[in-house]
Amino acid sequence: MSSKLSVRQILKRSGLFASREAMEQAVQQQRVLYKQKPVPHIMFHIPAKDFLFVDGKPLRMLKKRYFILNKPKQYTCQKNESYPYVADLIKVDEPTKKSLFPVGRLDVPSTGLLIITNDGEFASQLLQPKQKVPKTYNVFLKYPLTDAMIDQLRAGVKIHLKGTATEESYQTLPAQIVRLAPDCHDRCLITLVEGKYRQVRMMFKVAGNIVLDLCRVQIGGLKLADVKLAEGAYCEMHGEELKKRVFAPQTI
């Protein structure tokens, strides 16, 4: 694991700033100092053992916290005035609440397993593509899932990444997909080792189907069924236990 942290990670874990914009403003105003000099930008990295100063005072990072949430529908993983923010479901003191963020995203209509933390190092490690941490989704489809669709998704399909500058095409990696039962044609489990935004929905669209409901049920070795959380409920987990489960070797 990296022995350095970005200024953004440190400021986030201080609980002093409610948004990235507020952090960037503090840096631009030269209120954030490292070794008595203003830091150049929020992605500037310093050794994890060193300190930043904000407004002349040494910055104290909050204790690392890890929460497992069964995300409900109509909540967003990005701060957005149109929908409530998932991290606000976690009932903690205000400084800690400001430091929390979701690791990865589930779109507004989706439900299921979501990790909420203030540990930027852990989040970066989990989201690194080279880690290939598998994530499994329970999917309810509008049309029957045919063998041809399964073969197509298992091989990988070409999707368009919306939100990028050019909406570029992307070839997905092979996915594991199984019906929930041999005679079940509208529900399946799909497992990916990557996580582009709305990827599952886009993959099924390319294959000629429509996702009506999507629930993430597993991240690595962490299973929603094991934590037994109702939709909208959460629990706190010790960091070492969470990492042990998430990074447990999986066969895909």
Closest CA to 106 of 85, 128, 82: 85
DSSP codes, 31-67: -EEETTEE-S-TT-EEETTS--EETTEE--PPPP-EE
Q: What is the DSSP letter of 76?
A: B
226 noted as active-site residue: no
Tokens standing for 107?
């779109």
Closest CA to 127 of 108, 154, 102: 102
56: CB partners within 8 A, 6+ apart: none
The single residue of 50, 55, 107, 226 carrying the catalytic annotation is: 107
Give the catalytic positions in this structure. 107
